[in-house]
């Protein structure tokens, strides 16, 4: 009798096991803005939340009101960027995205807006570095040195509140300094500004976290490839290595520049953002391999610290559109992108 029932029992067990993945997939709900806010308030690191966004189905509200609510909920800039990217890509499952073939070694990584931009370590076996989008904060303090700005309270508060994307969007849709100050939790930067006055402020670019996840030796060599980026002439830019300056609340300053307080709302290319740009460049040896393809290495061994590979204009008078910088697109990518690494 038991022998006769055994095939039936085995079939039932097999059918039950086969149904489990389907049921799990059916019961899995897409991640929403509320889920992200819950993860942030539970203390999960931003990197873990970003990985969760990339690995799950999503249904995000990235409208102006949605971004403002996220900012008020304490969601970091890097997480909001991942949410916007997921919404832009159609909110498919992260598993489907990760199943796509990886970028071939030495080939530039594709950018969301088109074109390619990559930095690959050609010695030490580290491979391609990740492109990191810097965050922006404002201060009235003049940019004389990154060390001075690292201790500036307005800069630290601005980064801590993740002010930039939500603030720019709110200002863009609401109009005027009032909506900007209403979104920016570090509103003291813009307090007292009335009417149509357009004071000069300092914009500060920084990466979150005290340390890069990539550690290299003191004499790395980088293969930098950039091509096909909309609105970017490869001949006008060159790769550089810069030393990053840590702040008192675990950020790494990349650079700073002066500009009008409404620069981020200007779509015309009239901001000479690099003419007053403050950064700590490292002397490099460069070998041009082709148009938009350069190999660089430090001219002398690097001391311990935090560094980044960046693209910079060859001309200090190069003009940028503030909206490109605010939206990490076009030539704004050149100021917003950093490939960080640490030397220990």
pLDDT at position 81, please? 80
39 plus 161 within the same structural domain: no
Q: What is the pLDDT of residues 271-286, one digit of tens each?
A: 999 999 999 999 999 9
DSSP per-residue codes, 164-214: HHHHHHHHHHH-HHHHHHHH-TTGGGTTT--TT---EEEEEEEEESSS-S-
Name the nearest CA neighbour of 135 among 273, 344, 325, 339: 325
261 plus 314 within the same structural domain: yes
71 plus 169 within the same structural domain: no
Q: What's the rounded mean pLDDT across residues 235-249? A: 94
Domain membership of residue 306 (yes or no) is: yes
Write phi, then psi, for 45 (nearest 5 degrees).
-65, 150
Domain that holds residue 42: 2-98
Percent of the chain scoring above 90 in pLDDT: 38
Whether pLDDT at 66 is above 80 = yes
196 plus 299 within the same structural domain: yes
122 plus 94 within the same structural domain: no
Domain membership of residue 106 (yes or no) is: no
pTM of the model: 0.63
90 plus 133 within the same structural domain: no
127 plus 91 within the same structural domain: no
pLDDT at position 165, please? 46
Q: What is the pLDDT of residues 81-140, one digit of tens each?
A: 888 878 876 644 333 333 333 334 444 456 766 788 999 999 866 789 999 989 888 888
Q: How does residue 172 score in pLDDT terms, banded at 50, 70 and 90?
A: very low
Q: What's the rounded mean pLDDT across residues 223-243? A: 94
pLDDT at position 112, please? 64
Give the three-class secondary structure for 274.
coil
Whether pLDDT at 198 is above 50 = yes
Q: How does residue 22 score in pLDDT terms, banded at 50, 70 and 90?
A: very low
Count up the domains in the chain and report the number.
Answer: 2
325 plus 296 within the same structural domain: yes
pLDDT at position 161, please? 62
Domain membership of residue 281 (yes or no) is: yes
pLDDT at position 57, please? 85
Contact yes or no for 339/239 (Cβ under 8 A): no
Please state whether beta strands 337-343 and 215-216 pair in parallel, antiparallel, or not at all (unpaired).
Answer: parallel
250 plus 312 within the same structural domain: yes
Boundary of a domain, candidates 69, 98, 127: 98
Distance of CA 236 to the CA centre of its chain: 23
Q: What is the pLDDT of residues 285-333, one digit of tens each?
A: 999 999 999 999 999 999 999 999 999 999 999 999 999 998 888 899 9
Among 12-16, 133-137, 148-152, 319-323, the minimum mean pLDDT is found in 12-16
Q: How does residue 192 score in pLDDT terms, banded at 50, 70 and 90?
A: very low
């Amino acid at each position: 009798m038991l022998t006769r029932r055994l095939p039936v029992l085995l079939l039932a067990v097999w059918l039950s096991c086969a149904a489990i993945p389907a049921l799990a997939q059916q019961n899995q709900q897409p991640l929403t803005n509320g889920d992200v806010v819950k993860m942030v308030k539970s203390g999960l690191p931003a990197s873990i939340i970003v990985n969760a966004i990339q690995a799950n189905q999503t249904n995000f509200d990235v409208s102006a009101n949605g971004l403002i609510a996220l900012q008020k909920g304490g969601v970091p800039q890097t997480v909001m960027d991942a949410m916007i990217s997921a919404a832009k890509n159609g909110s498919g499952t992260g598993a489907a995205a990760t199943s796509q073939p990886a970028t071939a070694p030495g080939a530039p990584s594709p950018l969301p807006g088109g074109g390619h931009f990559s930095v690959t370590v050609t010695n030490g076996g580290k491979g391609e570095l990740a492109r990191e989008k810097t965050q922006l904060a404002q201060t009235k303090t003049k940019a004389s040195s990154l060390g001075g700005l690292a201790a500036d309270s307005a800069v630290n508060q601005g980064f801590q509140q993740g002010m930039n994307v939500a603030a720019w969007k709110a200002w863009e849709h609401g109009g005027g300094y009032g909506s900007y100050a209403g979104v920016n939790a570090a509103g003291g930067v813009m307090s007292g500004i009335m009417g149509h006055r357009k004071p000069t402020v300092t914009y500060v670019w920084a990466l979150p976290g005290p340390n890069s996840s990539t550690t290299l030796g003191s004499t790395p060599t980088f293969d930098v490839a950039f091509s096909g980026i909309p609105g970017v002439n490869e001949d006008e830019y060159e790769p550089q290595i810069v030393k990053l300056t840590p702040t008192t609340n675990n950020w790494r300053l990349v650079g700073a520049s002066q500009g009008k307080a409404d620069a981020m709302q200007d779509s015309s290319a009239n901001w000479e953002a690099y003419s007053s740009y403050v950064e700590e460049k490292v002397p490099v040896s460069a070998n041009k391999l082709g148009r938009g393809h350069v190999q660089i290495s430090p001219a002398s061994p690097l001391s311990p610290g935090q560094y980044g590979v960046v693209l910079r204009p060859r001309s200090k008078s190069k003009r940028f559109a503030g909206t490109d910088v605010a939206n990490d697109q076009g030539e704004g990518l050149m100021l917003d992108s950093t490939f960080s690494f640490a030397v220990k």
